[in-house]
Structure 1
Amino acid sequence: MGVKGLQYFIDHCCPEACVTVNLRELARQHVANGQHGCSTTANITNPTLLVDGMACLRHWYSCKDWVCGGQWREYMALLESWVEAFTSTGIRLVFFFDGVVEEQKRQEWVKRRRRVNGEVSKVFSHIKAHGEQPGAELFCLPSGLATFTRFALRSLGQEVLCSVQEADYEIASYGRRHGSMGILGQDSDFIIYNSVPYLSVAKLRLEDLTTVLYDQESLCRAIGLGVTQLPLLACLLGNDVVSEECMHHVRSNAMARYRNSRPPLGSGAPQGQKVLAVAQLVSSVWGREQGEAGLIPQSLVLSAPDRELLERGVRSYLLPGQEALQRGEVPTLHPDIARVMERYVSPEILKACREKHVAAEGFMVYSVMCEGVVECSNSLEDEEDTELLPQALVYRPCRQHIYSLLLDRNNSSSMDVPAVREWFVYPGNPLKEPDMVYPVPLSLPCDQPSLEVLWLGSGPEVSALRLASFLSVFDCQDFSELYGAVEDSLLAALCLVTYIVLQVQELSLEDVDAYLSQAVCLRLKSTQELQYIKLPHLSSRAVQLGSLYVRGLSHLLGANCASGCPLPSDALMPWHSFDGRLFHSKYLLAHTGTEKTLLLDGDSSCLSLFLCLREKLTEACRRRGRALQSRPRPNPSEPSHKTTADPRYRDGHRGGSMHTGGPSGDRQDWREREERTGDQSHGGGWRERGGSHPHPHPQSYPHYHDGRFQSSSPPPKQSRGRSHHSNRRRYQLAPRWSQPPAPGT
């Protein structure tokens, strides 16, 4: 996330390095000077602007609501307008997103996650105290925003690339290689790389396409260094590779010498003094010994470990062709993963895996197969809620099935099947080490299909295998006959809600009604109507359930990619099955006993579809011994809460959920806890018991037509899916180590 203190120094102490530019004019000059390069696949005539997607997320997501799970339709409209502002002027955009967390930066990643923990805890405290969304000082991006934004931009026709190394490095390398007009982001690392101009997204004015260009040459003149000396400056100040603490003693000595050599600076900014002091140190030691080898001057007194760390940090800024000592190739595979790959995965599969990852067409697959690690950042989860299971544990069983599809090639109990290292943030996990989670085979009536079949095969039988594999990941084989009979997004929503109900014993009929009704009603809502929804108050439990659902959509996406994509990726996007404020309004209505007709906005077709989906879910749960119960939870502060329809939308089928009421809303400092397993159906919290669910044989379902399910006739496209029987099995949640299954299970 940049060089410690450098962005502040540039903005506040080095005005000559901050140049306001018009991007239209910058693009014209770029073309006139013949600086635009050639792509490796096609000649590019339009000037190319590289966009650091991760740095832009906070600027793109400007929707009023964020705590309820995300205003995804509105967000899509904002993204479309943002892209159009550039492309209408002839500027080509290439978006980059982080695809991996490099191990040398893991501790910095962990440090940030712990810091966000405290912020999320404050969010829930505010909601429970005031019943409304907190202010901007506690703003937290909706869960899964980075993942789904990649697919959103692709759907808008944009080129999106996912990194296999540090994203900043790949962006700078791409810009230098292709002669791009600049990098739009908010990361001071970009002024360290010897690449293309660094442009600020924080200071971007979309209406006239102006922003600030951070001029590298002006910065160098101001601090008395050359461009090649900037990497050493960055590492001594502290960055993601060399922590600020590691070089504290060097900076302290530099500050002492700097102050002794200068007159008193009065109230001069300490941040400015620090950068100037370290720059003076770098200048004094650089090139003192003629012909010295290595990246770090020998005259810079360091211990051997510190010197090695500093050299690694400096090397991380060297782009291809700039120095003999370069960054190196993509990190090698984890030994266990590499061994499995050699035995079970063909080069063709690995090539396809990497290509899909780089093109941002996949999720989770590359990190599992080629890195042996999966991470998930903070979610909106209430550490004080001892009842709801954290999302990391709710979705662990389905991830174990995904790992099996990707890694357990011979479907045996062989102990050489590797564990996947999971870095997931959840209550009780101090993030000192990863959870080691082993694959669990799917329950299929046939041998588990190979990736060659799922990814490269063709024909109706392969299509059926893909669908069966996908549904089995979530123990939703019952719904195979619904494929092609209901919209793909609704089938995905039904699978997800069913899975959540099976995993979380405390979910009630009211929670299911909220989930399903909002998925059904969302199809008929415009973006404007969704923005008009008013919430009389917020429920902290509904906030957590909304975040849980969106995290589940990313797991649907991972399972779909691993299974060979039986569903189009677009069907798994949140803007087709979830809206935060709509879900919250349905939750409040469902838990205050609102009639189903009103819950479904008075639309008879929506009601019919809702009741059919609800029946299929409850039947599937009943067959697995999960009996849903009614447990209404009116808000304690407003036990008589009622929501009313906005009169502007009362007529017609779309108005029933436009609610009015009281004030609307203008990462979790979890304590370490032991996680215990048990088998209670309700009562107590997840810390006192775990979840395990039997999975009896499913049966075929009737088909959907004209708002109702019909029996007998086959689905419109028989090759798209078929029903399968499954073997009886049980999920077991193991908090730290998920051992491989014993033979015969």
Structure 2
Amino acid sequence: LLSDCCEFRRSAMGVRGLQGFVARVCPDACKTVDLREMAEKHRTDHPDSPPVVVVDAMSCVRRWYTPESWVCGGQWREYLAILEDFINVFMTAGIKLVFYFDGVVEDKKREEWIKRRMKNTEEIATLFRFIKTHRKQPGREMFVLPSALPTFTRYALKSLGQKTVCTLQEADFEVAAYGLQHNCIGILGQDSDYLIYNTCPYLSIENLHLDRLVTVMYSREVLCRVLGISLTHLPLFACLLGNDIVPESLLEGFWHKCLTTSPHRNNSYNRRTNILLSVANYISKIPCSYSSLKHLEEMLPLGSDKTLLYRGVNSYLLPGQQSPWIPPNVINCQMSSLQQQSALCQDKEIFQKEVSLFLKCQVGQIMGSSSSIGQQLGTEMYFPYRENLFPHPVGHAALDAAQGAVGFLVCEHTLPAPVELLIQQHPKALLRAALNPFPSSLHLCSGLPQPKCGILYLALLKLMRLAEGALDPTVHVADKGVKQCWSQYRPLRTPLVTGLHLHIEPLTTTLSVRPSNQSLIHQEVHLSNPCLSSSGTRMLCRTLLNALAKEQHIRSENYSIFNILSNGEIECSNSLEDDCDTEIPGQALIYRPARQHIYSILLESGKGGACPLVKEWFVYFGNPLKQPELIQPVQPSVTGGTPNLKTLWFAKGPDVEKQRYSTFLACFHLQDEMEELQALEAPVAGFCCLLAYLMMEVSSLSLEDLNAFLALILCLKGKSAAQLTGLQLAQVDSRGVHLGAVLIRGLTTLLMANSACGFPFRMDDLMPWAVFDGKLFQEKYQQSHGGCSMEELLEGNVS
């Protein structure tokens, strides 16, 4: 769902035709490079930082999936071994990898996403016709990624110890920004937008020879020399060729004008190549200025939105970059790689006013340099105004500061660049603002100084994280005499406070602190909160839940939860389903009842208020995707009522663990089977939960189908990746292909329920390499339907 939005190919891989143009017309821009040599040079030039390659994972998954079989549902253990080999080659060369995955379909991409989904539907229909006719898998020319491959690739990489990031916007911007900010030796991918961004070198995954660590590096400088333009021209060049912001349909007239006046037109080139050359010739002759951009916007038929070119050029500017095409007094709206998610992060809108007041008023007073602070913030900075939702005594400086800082708790990655800069330059002042009038030496124990308001304390925790390393207080953990210093706590991305467990009214906070060489230490702190109304505490709790969901989303630790909580929207791409088989409903419909229960848990319906509908963009036969389907959350049947998210996510103890497990089972109507399922190994329990749900929801499933699934889970346990790779199929059954895809999509539904219910299962226990193999399932499916004996079907695994 999160990455499945781009499951077959990202909807638009950069500027159409540019990658081929570079290969055909300017081969000098395609330089073969040795990544080991690049890494060694980096180590020589930067001895304090390891060489890093940032990977655009969505443009790599097709290259990574090399198992021979792909139609039967996926060869997951073989694929996991391939990923491990890929990582090990880079590790051996001393190169660190950072993987980025698309985490959302942006509104501007929705139309293109729908077009791709419709095209994929046709491709899958053709694929099934081939399988039914020839009873075998077609050649690689008809290759389609196994269902949910990008989703499970994220978890596979995490399980292999790699840093994976699930983005809050289109991944290419965040990849380019990371590469620039962290001085990476290159971006590994296959997206011509990386020729437009002024970032680190762009390395080709298609041309990568893994055994030698050699690939092609595309040179922006050589491209510009061939085109007769400069690096500064590239963003405008991309926009005038058509991209995600400026549609090609608006540019036909402009292209015609360029073609008729260009001296570079060559009849031996195709039309697209001549368009690229003529557009480059046109913009090389105009001044690099905002007035030139405005003239182009007036000239083009942009309709009511005359800012398309401006926004298009601006979308390629990375943090800290400027452009002559953009007015110098306008702050780049993408100064943070996550800033454009203000629409997704609803909490930011709530707290913007407090953040503004905190930074502009309080810090300057504390530091005695409000004018310099104001200059750093800049007069152009814009914060949407929202009424303060947390009542507090007027003029209480420390409380005002703390309430502003709560915005950081939720939106640490969505702040404008001047704010981020201020945090980096003045962490002491920020922290002291929250601590005031309390001492800088903080004791996490029952003797903690009692703040006037719970919000202040929460802000303090956040600011402690932001200021890590800037102050040198000693943190005393009052537990068996253990005393740990600030420097012993882990960095910002693994917070000092690893768990924040709220029991509101009265507000009680359990702090889980993890020193570097100690086990978790839990301390309970009771906070008086006279300034918080009941609606305020509810809002505060919801804010913390959203903040946790967002952080887990970015780290690829949950599944789809943040998208639902923040935007009320979710999507799922095509699956390998046979639309002609009307006896098996589309997987989107099969798992909808379970999703409705998950939505109810997340949005907490049944609390006396209306529960918002969830917008679903799910591909299945009969859905034209003209608009999202509005799905009503449905409360699951849980004994004693559905626990709230605060309990499921934050509470501790055996009773809560039981609540998590029973709520998870209730999503699949299996709450009465808890004792039997808990007696099984976790992967088997998850698989059986899914299988029982399928048998209830799909009336056409037979005893033979059930036996095939059971034989799969029993026989898979003892088989290695090499054994599964060597398994040969005499033929392929199309219905078995369909059922394999349905089961894999069911595993993603288990992941979503597990994330919503506070992780009663380890995510690793619900992964396909633990419970599924496509060829093995095909074999068991055909054996079961062929009437083989139970002993042969189970291969002696009778238990």
Sort the TM-score into its range (normalised by shorter chain): 0.7 to 0.9
Asked if the contact 1:408/1:439 (under 8 Å) is kept, the reply is: no
Structure 1 CA distance, aligned partners of 2:113 and 2:581?
A: 25
* Structure 2 residue 341 is the aligned partner of structure 1 residue 331: yes
What CA distance in whole angstroms lies between the structure 2 residues aligned with 1:286 and 1:299?
A: 16
> Which residue number in structure 2 is paired with residue 376 of structure 1?
572
Contact 1:143 1:550 in 2 (8 A): yes
Q: Report what 2:61 is aligned to.
A: 57
Shift of 1:407: 0.6
Distance 1:428 1:413 in 2: 35
Whether contact under 8 Å (2:302, 2:308) holds in the other structure is no
Question: What amino acid sits opposite 1:385 in the alignment?
Answer: D
Q: Could you tell me the percent identity over the aligned residues?
A: 44
CA-CA distance at 1:487 after TM superposition: 1.1
Using the TM superposition, give the Cα deviation of residue 268 of structure 1 relative to its aligned residue in structure 2, in angstroms.
Answer: 2.3
- C-alpha separation between the residues in 1 aligned to 2:787 and 2:580? 26
- In structure 2, what is the equivalent of residue 233 of structure 1? 237
Between the aligned partners of 2:614 and 2:346, the Cα distance in structure 1 is 10
1:250-261 correspondence runs (5 A): 250-258=254-262, 261=263
Instruction: Give the whole-Å Cα distance in 2 for the aligned partners of 1:249 and 1:424.
Output: 36
User: Is 2:712–2:780's contact at 8 Å kept on the other side of the alignment?
Assistant: yes
* Alignment pair present for 1:538 and 2:542: no
- Partner Cα distance (2:787, 2:625) in 1: 41
Q: 3-state SS of the aligned residue for 1:292?
A: helix
Residue number in structure 1 paired with 2:689: 495
Tell me by how many angstroms 1:304 deviates. Answer: 4.1
Match of 1:224 in 2: 228
User: Which one of the candidate residues 161, 179, 183 is aligned to 2:183?
Assistant: 179
* Aligned amino acid, residue 109 of structure 2: K
Residues 161 and 455 of structure 1: CA distance in aligned 2, closer, same or farther (over 3 Å): same
* 1:253-295 deviations in Å (ceiling 9; x for gaps): 222222xx34x634223332121111122223443xx663867
Matches within 5 A, 1:3-18: 3-18=15-30
Query: Per the alignment, in what secondary structure is the counterpart of residue 90 of structure 1?
Result: coil
Q: Which amino acid aligns with 2:57?
A: G
Aligned CA distance change for structure 1 residues 73 and 265 (closer, same or farther; 3 Å): same
Match of residue 150, structure 2, among 138, 146, 167: 146
Report the aligned-residue RMSD. 2.1
Aligned residue runs from structure 1 range 215-294, under 5 A: 215-258=219-262, 261-262=263-264, 265-287=266-288, 292=291
Aligned match of 1:322:
321
The one of 67, 71, 78 equivalent to 2:71 is 67
Residue 78 of structure 1 is aligned with which of 48, 63, 82?
Answer: 82
Worse-matched range after superposition: 514-523 or 244-253: 244-253
The amino acid of 2:63's aligned partner reads: H
Alignment of 1:293-312 (within 5 A): 297=296, 300-305=299-304, 307-312=306-311
CA–CA separation in structure 1 for the residues paired with 2:208 and 2:642: 51
Give the Cα separation in 1 of the matches to 2:295 and 2:332: 14
Match of 1:414 in 2: 609
Q: Distance in 1 between matches of 2:759 and 2:345?
A: 29
CA distance in 1, matches of 2:287, 2:72: 53
Secondary structure of 1:50's aligned partner: strand
Cα pair 1:286 1:297 within 8 Å, conserved: no
1:17-36 alignment, distance < 5 Å: 17-34=29-46
Q: Match of 2:798, SS?
A: helix
Question: Are the structure 2 counterparts of residues 318 and 300 from structure 1 closer, same or farther at C-alpha, using a change threshold of 3 Å?
Answer: farther
Which deviations, in whole Å up to 9, do the C-alpha atoms of 1:130-178 show, x marking residues without a partner?
A: 0010111110000111111111111111111110111111111111111
Tell me what 1:607 maps to. 798
| TM-score of the pair, normalised by structure 2 | 0.71
| Higher relative contact order, chain-length normalized (CA < 8 Å, sep 6+) | 1
Q: CA deviation at 1:75?
A: 0.4
Work out the CA distance in 1 between the residues paired with 2:216 and 2:314: 28
2:298 and 2:230 mapped to 1: Cα distance?
18
Aligned residues of 1:336 and 1:418 also touching (Cα < 8 A) = no
Cα distance in structure 2, aligned partners of 1:370 and 1:159: 24
Question: For structure 1, which segment, 392-401 or 329-338, has the greater mean C-alpha deviation from structure 2 after superposition?
Answer: 329-338
**Counterpart mapping for 1:461-610 below 5 A:** 461-601=655-795, 603=796, 606-608=797-799
1:252–1:385 Cα change, 3 Å: farther
Residue 507 of structure 1 aligns to a residue whose secondary structure is coil
Report if the CA contact (8 A) 2:297-2:307 is conserved.
no
Partners of 2:102 and 2:135 lie apart in 1 by: 35
2:604·2:644 contact (CA, 8 Å) conserved in 1?
A: no
Tell me, what secondary structure is at the counterpart of 1:245? Answer: helix
- Kindly state the Cα deviation for residue 334 of structure 1 after the two structures are TM-superposed: 6.5
Aligned length: 590
Distance 2:756 2:302 in 1: 46
- Equivalent-residue separation in structure 1 for 2:637 and 2:659 (angstroms): 12
Counterpart code for 1:563: C
Distance 1:430 1:284, change over 3 A: farther
1:363 aligns with 2:559: yes
Give the TM-score taking structure 1 as reference length: 0.76
Higher helix share: 2
Query: Quick check: 1:8–1:271 contact (8 Å CA) kept in 2?
Result: no
Amino acid corresponding to residue 142 of structure 1 in structure 2: P
SS at match of 1:2: coil
